[in-house]
Amino acid sequence: MHAKNIIWIIFNILLAISVLFILPAQAQAKKVREYWIAAEKVTWNYAPTEKNLIESEGDLGVWGKTLAYTKYRYIGYTDGKYTTPVPQPEWAGILGPQIRAVVGDTIKVHFLNKTDRPLSMHPHGVFYQKDDEGADGGKGASIAPGARYTYTWVADEAAGPGPNDPSSVIWLYHSHVMAEEEMNLGLIGTIAITREGKARSQDDPTPRDVDQEFVSLFTIFNEENDEESGLKHTINGRIFGNLPGYETSLGKRVRWHLVALGNEVDNHTVHWHGQTVLAHGRRTDVIELMPASMMAVDMVPRSAGDWLFHCHVNDHMMAGMSTRWRVLP
């Protein structure tokens, strides 16, 4: 064989080997993901239609006496000017912007407190130094009105999916200066961490083995010092079917991220009509949640229609902890 041909063959073999090693390294390159989030004071309506959309002949009962309250929310922005909000899906409701990362990534959250009280951002699950805990001392524990702070968190291996978890897991974040009061005010959001090697791309940290993801927060907001009319039994801050946007199609791979917050009455049994989910290898249509619990479950819808999605605790159903979700043919 001619010497030039031999050299050419060797060159191509070496090139192929380098591609095998370099491309995976590039695909798994760690990334710094930046978010600009402000805390803001808003007026929140638990049932914007002022109707019971679950029972056509029903009303809102005592829970419809007052629907609009002053709340505090986390709002995402496109950059540090804090002028252009990041669009939220309808189903997100009162939830703050979702923070996403892949195992190995660093998360930087540029926080601006636009409200009239000290607040913070405390994450669950991710790695952080004391100053970035957003609670219990440290520079980020209490951010004064009008002030800014950049939190640095790391999505290390312990923040990602475990051996029996799906390809992504969910964590909560919330204010922790006066934690109980601030969560009740609405300062709640989620962090989704994707397993290394499972993201769609370096720029898109969503898991490639699912087609669609939803987040559902089950909590009772206490607006009137335990008066029944002020106990708003919500999914993402809405009652009696006033949460639109949960829509998917037959055969899609759907991941539901379920979270709960609250006190001893916030024990919830999340139930989907018409479908089942897979939770850590268990097939079911009811998932049990306790306060501050977080779970990811998977579903492939098999029946088209508009379906109930609700807490199966009797008095929670009665108080409006229900909505509908749609499966298109």
In DSSP notation, 207-230 reads BTT-SEEEEEEEEEEE-STT-GGG
Say how many C-beta atoms besides its own lie within 10 A of residue 290's C-beta.
Answer: 12
Examine the pLDDT at 235 and tell me if it is beyond 80.
Answer: yes
Max CA pair span of the chain: 91
**The whole model's pTM is what?**
0.90
pLDDT band at 20 (very low <50, low <70, confident <90, very high): very low
CB atoms near residue 226 (< 10 Å): 8
Q: What are phi and psi of 11, to 5 degrees?
A: -60, -45
Residues 211, 178: Cα–Cα separation, whole Å: 38
Q: What is the DSSP letter of 260?
A: E
The answer for 82, left when phi > 0, alpha when psi is -120 to 50, beta otherwise, is left
Q: What is the pLDDT of residue 25?
A: 39
Residue appearing with tokens 């709640």: 188
Q: Could you tell me if 120 and 138 are in contact, meaning their C-beta atoms sit under 8 angstroms apart?
A: no
Average pLDDT over residues 190-200: 98
Is the Cβ–Cβ distance between 70 and 37 less than 8 Å? no
Q: What is the CATH number of domain 32-328?
A: 2.60.40.420
Residue range 147-151: mean pLDDT, rounded: 98
Residues 77, 83: contact at Cβ < 8 Å?
yes
Looking at the DSSP assignment, which residues form a beta bridge with residue 322? Answer: 310
Calpha distance 114→143 (Å, rounded): 10
Once rounded to an integer, what is the mean pLDDT over residues 70-99?
98
Structure tokens at 258: 């379920």
